[in-house]
Amino acid sequence: MRVARWNPEKTNKAIYGNAMDRLETLGDAVADKARSLVPVGKSRARYKNGKDWSEREAGALRASIRVVRLKGDPKKNIRVYAGSRKTYYARFVEYGTAKMKARPFLRPALKAAKAMAKAILMGG
C-alpha cells in the first residue's frame, strides 16, 4: 500500500500541537485547583498616619498562580508557577520555614489533577 501526498512533518506538527494544547488544559486544571487551595491572608488596617501595614495584599499569592507555555525551550513544556517579585513568599508557604509550618497548595493540586490527566490527554 502506498500513501500519496504524505507529509510526516506537517502531520507530526499537528499532533504535537494538539498534545501541547491538552497539556496546557491540564496545567489550567492544576492552577485552578491550586488557587482554590492556597491560603489567603487577611488585609490589615492602616497605620494612623495612613500608610499600609505591609505591601502584601490579601489574595496576591492566589492571583500570582499562572500557567506558562515555554515556546523557546527545546523540551517545550508547560509549567505552573506561583509567586512573583511581589509575592516572593510562595515557596515559604508551600514548604514552610523554621518558624512557620508548611501549607502546601501546588503539590496537592498536582496530586488531585493526576486523576484528570489521563482523560484530558487521551480525550482532549
Is this structure's pTM higher than 0.95? Answer: no
Which domain covers residue 27, as residue numbers?
Answer: 8-39+55-121
- CA-to-CA distance for 80 and 83, rounded, in angstroms? 10
47 part of a folded domain: no
Give the pLDDT band (50/70/90) at residue 37.
very high
User: What are the pLDDT digits (tens) for 40-57?
Assistant: 877 666 667 766 655 567
- CB 82 within 8 Å of CB 106: yes
1 found inside a domain: no
Residue bearing cell 505591601: 55
In contact, 113 and 25? CB cutoff 8 Å? no
Q: Is residue 59 part of a domain?
A: yes
d(CA 82, CA 89): 9
